[in-house]
Structure 1
Amino acid sequence: MISVPSLEEIQSLEEALHRPEIRRSREDVETLLAEGFVEFGASGSVYDRTTIIDLLAQESGTDEGELRTANYALKPISNDAVLLTYETERSYHDGSKRCVLRSSVWKYDGLKWQMFFHQGTVRS
């Protein structure tokens, strides 16, 4: 039986995907995202693993504004999977803000934890 990871461990993996230097590294993102990964984006679009890896690798280095995260919670959902939920708030240079509720399923592959599913829902 696999021991449940700590909130800090999974939060650290999740937050790695927030960092531009990780997001633009195809190798790093491939390590973090499981085969079969799917994302339901805050935009309403659905992305598969290959598409997300390609999109992140092409991101520009421009500053998109400050990202704040809060209210992390971790719940086991099976012997080898956990659900991470949290909120983000991005503040843009024009003074606008975008708040998103986020959830990620992290799955243990026998060696490491990888994100299997992610969803962002814009909060109005």
Structure 2
Amino acid sequence: MSDLDLETILGELRQREPIFHRRAFGTSRDDLEAMTAEDFFEIGASGRIYRRDFVIANLLERYQQPERHDWPCRDFSIRRLAENLYLLNYTLDEPGRTTLRTLAKLWRELENRLPSGNHCRLSRQCQNLARRGIDAAAP
């Protein structure tokens, strides 16, 4: 893979981060389902695991109100881990704190979508590692 290809993918991912806060990519149930794999789950900052239906229901409720913050991100870097699997790092300036985020992203170039999570974004390829010893039951 050339540096140009990696820069193109970084540009695509940069536009979407933090995912679910960039409403231009859609706010309907259909949009959110198209952005996430059927077995999607999210690991919150607390370490708690949330399944796709729970996340989508909460997002649909949140989208009823204007976004209260613009979620600025900076200092992006990317590294290819395997075919279509990338490690994305960036700094997120949240209200009251700054967070360094490291995310595994499965990029489906042909479908132009990310079957990924939020605080700890895990693709299907990464979920096996995360599920060892973890019960992914929805709260």
Residues 1:6 and 2:5 aligned together: no
Greater helix share, 1 or 2?
A: 2
Task: Please state whether the residue corresponding to 2:16 is helix, strand or coil.
Answer: helix
AA partner of residue 79 (structure 2): K
Task: Please state whether the residue corresponding to 1:88 is helix, strand or coil.
Answer: strand
The percent of aligned pairs where both chains have the same amino acid is: 25
| Structure 2 counterpart of 1:116 | 116
| Structure 1 counterpart of 2:82 | 78
Task: Please state whether the residue corresponding to 2:46 is helix, strand or coil.
Answer: coil
Q: Hey, what's the Cα distance between the residues in 2 that align with 1:106 and 1:84?
A: 7
Relative to structure 1, the CA distance from residue 86 to residue 55 in structure 2 (aligned partners, 3 Å threshold; closer, same or farther) is: same
Q: Hey, what's the Cα distance between the residues in 1 that align with 2:108 and 2:11?
A: 19
AA partner of residue 49 (structure 2): V
Task: Please state whether the residue corresponding to 2:21 is helix, strand or coil.
Answer: coil
| Structure 2 counterpart of 1:67 | 71
Q: Conserved in 2, the CA contact under 8 Å of 1:35 and 1:49?
A: yes
| Structure 2 counterpart of 1:100 | 99
CA apart distance, 1:21 = 5.8
The count of corresponding residues between Structure 1 and Structure 2 is 114
Greater strand share, 1 or 2?
A: 1
Q: Conserved in 2, the CA contact under 8 Å of 1:89 and 1:100?
A: yes
Q: Hey, what's the Cα distance between the residues in 2 that align with 1:85 and 1:27?
A: 28
CA apart distance, 1:61 = 0.8
Relative to structure 1, the CA distance from residue 75 to residue 117 in structure 2 (aligned partners, 3 Å threshold; closer, same or farther) is: farther
Q: Hey, what's the Cα distance between the residues in 1 that align with 2:81 and 2:20?
A: 22
Relative to structure 1, the CA distance from residue 23 to residue 13 in structure 2 (aligned partners, 3 Å threshold; closer, same or farther) is: same
Runs of 4+ displaced beyond 4 Å:
20-23
Q: Conserved in 2, the CA contact under 8 Å of 1:38 and 1:47?
A: yes
Task: Please state whether the residue corresponding to 1:76 is helix, strand or coil.
Answer: strand
| Structure 2 counterpart of 1:17 | 20
